Amino acid sequence: MLLTLSIFIPMLGMVVVLLLPKDNHNLIRWTSVGIAVATFIPIVVLTMGYTDPDGESAADTLLAERERVIAEAPEAARAAILALTAEGVAEANDPGTMSDLAADDERAAHWSLVKGDREAEAAYHEAWELAIAAQAAISQNLKYVEYGNWIPTFNINYILGVDGLSLPLIFLSGLLFILCFVYSFNITKGVKAYYALFLLLETGLIGVFAALDFFLFYVFWEIVLLPMYFLIGYWGGPNRIYAAIKFFIYTLVGSVVMLVAMLALYWQGGYDTFNLLTLIGMSGNFDATFQMWIFMALFLGFAIKVPVFPFHTWLPDAHVQAPTAVSVILAGVLLKMGGYGFFRFSYTLAPEAGTSEFMVMFIGLLGLINIVYGALCAMAQTDFKSLVAYSSVSHMGFVLLGLAAFTPEGIMGSVFQMFSHGVSSAMMFLLVGVLYDRAHHRDLNKFGGIGLQMPYYTGFAIIGFFTSLGLPGLAGFIGEMSVFMGSLNAEGFDWSGTSLYAPLPRWVVYAALPGVVLTAGYILWAVQRVYMGEAKKEEYKTYSDLSGREVFSLVPLAAMCIVLGVWPRVLIDFMNPTLDVLREFITTAGIGG
């Protein structure tokens, strides 16, 4: 219930905001902040309660749902459903397809009991679906699962649930929206529409991370697209139309290909289900070629979001044109949809493809390119925001590198990097925004001497930029270190009993090492050009230091940078069980089912 609340409070809030008088800007602003806080409360409750060992896992919930389905099924079919789905549970590792089940003599006898009776058939299918879903490896750690029928004709369900992978991202979204709403108080153009769209965006984002039904996920995914398009296209910089359309089209291309993969999965073997957990439970049955196609199709969709070279060029355009708050959401959470998708969909639905020699090298090399190439491009930028955007490209390379390694440290580093980048890049965009609001330009070469005039602001800037640089003691280091540990460990790791026979070679990681030096180079160079030296323009001497509104948006992020750097266990212990199960599942899925 809490998950549903946190998803739909913003949507309801949008309706409320739309009903408010158009010219009362402050009312709209404060209402929106109130809604964002109201959304964050259930998220905090969820986060606090997640580690409770007595919490009901997905397996429990889904099996209870199965009981309910059986109890509600027509009397005549009940025995058959029980028998069949019990077998389905027993043989979850090799359940065969629906038709296979029907073909077997004994089963055919059961099947004939339900066949023809639409209600019985549907109950039969749903019970089977739930039985398999409860068996899926990752369902142990999923909690707060909500289940309901949405479009029964196509077996589309409303399934929500969170685990150590998605909950931190939901938490981050909830927090960032509050900060963005407060930061956006300086928006005066179309305030009502701005906040309404922003609230819709929040619904989409939290929904994406919570949805466990592929169709539902896709709907939320598309919901995210729309408000983003308008937010960039209407409130953006001079070249906003171009950037917005580019963002829209690019993401749409990716999501259409994803849709194809989704439909292919639906029809594959006649499973007729969008239930992600059921599909994961059945993924052992997908043959290698099919997995490869699925993986590539999903990969394109997610890679564009991450963004992975060479699909990254929409990002700098979108960032440079977008208003500050939109950039914050874009870098902080939106990019994580891609990384999250890899973990939740690509590797679990096509584990054999993901662990194949080709794919390990492919992802590893893309990670390498992202890191080094992204850093080089960042170094070449003269626009402050563009530099931060390219630094995102570089940092997301670590996510790919850790993913390709498949070691515990690699996977953790990858997810940790997503989270810490969400914090640090959000902070950097806010920092750039603060400066832009005063100077009305972002040209790195025209800045200088800001540190003297705005020392308090510069203190925050140091925290933000050094987190991005990967300084120990701040959040960025943990992810980077973990990825390096994990990816250099891939060759030496004990892979016995797994399907990964060709781990990521070490040279890929060695080749990524210059990225660390380049990162230091472009960040320190930018810091020097902006904050050090004498004030380059007379007007810089008149700038006021941070206002209360700006401090409010920056403080939680700075605090998270420090806390996660000094005591990373807050996050690591939270994610450990989930990621361990995920890793075990992916690396052993190819062998023996």
Partner 1 sequence: MPNLVMLALLVVVLPLAAWTYGFLYAFFNRRLPSYQDKLATAAISGSLVIALYMFFTEVLFVGSGITNPESWSFTWIQIGVTGHHPFILNLDLAVDNITVIMFVVVTIVATCVHWYSQSYMEDEDRYSRFFFYLGLFTFSMLACVATTNLLMLFIFWELVGVCSYFLIGFFFLKKSAGDASKKAFVVNRIGDGCFMAGICLIYSVLSRYWPDEGVLSFARIWESIALLGAADGPWVGNESLLTAVGLLVFMGCVSKSAQFPLHIWLPDAMEGPTPVSALIHAATMVVAGVYMIVRMFPLMAGEGYLSGNYFDSPVLFIIACFGAITAIFAGTIALAQSDLKKGLAYSTCSQLGYMVLAVGVGSIGAAMFHLFTHAFFKACLFLGSGSVIHAVHSQEMSDMGGLKDKMPHTRWTFLISCLAIAGTPLFSGFMSKEAILGQAAAYGLQVGAFWAWFPFVLGGITAFLTAFYMFRLYWLTFHGEPGDQQKFDHAHESPSKMIVPLWALAALAIVSAGIAMPFGAGHTGGHWFQDRVNDQVIVKDYLAVNASTAESRSVFGDQQQVHLVHHHDAAAIASPVVEEFHHNFHSVHYPLLGGSIVAVIFGIAGSFFFFVRNRNKDFLADIPPAVEYRRVLQNLYYVDWFACERVVPTTKDVADAAGRFDNRVVDGIVNGTARFFGRDLGWAVGRIDNIVVDGAVNGAGWLMMAGGSLFRGMVNGRIQDYVKFTAVCMGVLLLWVLAAG
CA distance 137 to 585: 6
Contact region for partner 1 (CB under 8 A) — 86-94, 140-148, 335-343, 580-588? 580-588
Least Å distance between CB 25 and partner 1? 29
Position 237 contacts partner 1 (CB under 8 A): no
- Of residues 240, 335, 291, the one with CA closest to residue 499: 291
Position 256 contacts partner 1 (CB under 8 A): yes
Sign of the C-alpha dihedral computed for residues 288, 293, 296 and 297 taken in this order: negative
Binds partner 1 by CB under 8 A, chosen from 38, 41, 511, 532: 532
Least Å distance between CB 489 and partner 1? 4
Binds partner 1 by CB under 8 A, chosen from 97, 140, 285, 576: 576
Binds partner 1 by CB under 8 A, chosen from 376, 439, 502, 511: 376
- Of residues 59, 40, 41, 39, the one with CA closest to residue 143: 59
The nearer residue to partner 1, 363 or 579, going by C-beta atoms, is 579
Position 538 contacts partner 1 (CB under 8 A): no
Position 34 contacts partner 1 (CB under 8 A): no
CA distance 89 to 94: 10
Position 257 contacts partner 1 (CB under 8 A): yes
Give the SS3 label for residue 150.
strand
Binds partner 1 by CB under 8 A, chosen from 234, 528, 556, 585: 528
Contact region for partner 1 (CB under 8 A) — 160-168, 218-226, 255-263, 437-445? 255-263
Position 259 contacts partner 1 (CB under 8 A): yes
Is the omega angle on the peptide bond into residue 21 within 30 degrees of 0, that is, cis? no
338 contact partners, CB below 8 Å, separation of at least 6? 302, 303, 304, 305, 306, 307, 308
Position 293 contacts partner 1 (CB under 8 A): yes
The nearer residue to partner 1, 32 or 587, going by C-beta atoms, is 587
The nearer residue to partner 1, 10 or 341, going by C-beta atoms, is 341
Position 338 contacts partner 1 (CB under 8 A): no
**Secondary structure string (H, E, C) spanning 545-567:** CCCHHHHHHHHHHHHHHHHHHHC
Count residues binding partner 1 (CB under 8 A). 88
φ, ψ of residue 501 to 5 degrees: the values are -90, -10
- Residues between 447 and 506 that touch partner 1 (CB under 8 A): 449, 451-452, 455-456, 459, 466, 471-473, 477-478, 481-482, 484-486, 488-489, 491-494
Give the SS3 label for residue 211.
strand
- Residues between 160 and 199 that touch partner 1 (CB under 8 A): none
Binds partner 1 by CB under 8 A, chosen from 41, 45, 260, 361: 260
Length of the chain as a residue count? 593
Contact region for partner 1 (CB under 8 A) — 94-102, 114-122, 326-334, 377-385? 377-385
Position 521 contacts partner 1 (CB under 8 A): yes
Other CB atoms within 10 A of residue 253 CB:
14
Contact region for partner 1 (CB under 8 A) — 21-29, 136-144, 241-249, 432-440? 241-249
Least Å distance between CB 199 and partner 1? 24
Binds partner 1 by CB under 8 A, chosen from 39, 61, 173, 381: 381
Least Å distance between CB 288 and partner 1? 11
CB-side neighbour CA atoms (13 Å) of 482: 27
456 contact partners, CB below 8 Å, separation of at least 6? 545, 546
Q: Letter for the amino acid at 162?
A: V
The nearer residue to partner 1, 169 or 454, going by C-beta atoms, is 454
CA distance 247 to 241: 10
Give the SS3 label for residue 498.
coil
Contact region for partner 1 (CB under 8 A) — 8-16, 53-61, 121-129, 403-411? 403-411
Q: Letter for the amino acid at 304?
A: I
160 membership: H or E segment, kind and range = strand 156-162
Binds partner 1 by CB under 8 A, chosen from 95, 227, 397, 568: 568
Q: Letter for the amino acid at 217?
A: F
- Of residues 400, 360, 350, 413, the one with CA closest to residue 512: 400
Name the DSSP class of 443.
B
Contact region for partner 1 (CB under 8 A) — 87-95, 123-131, 270-278, 307-315? 307-315
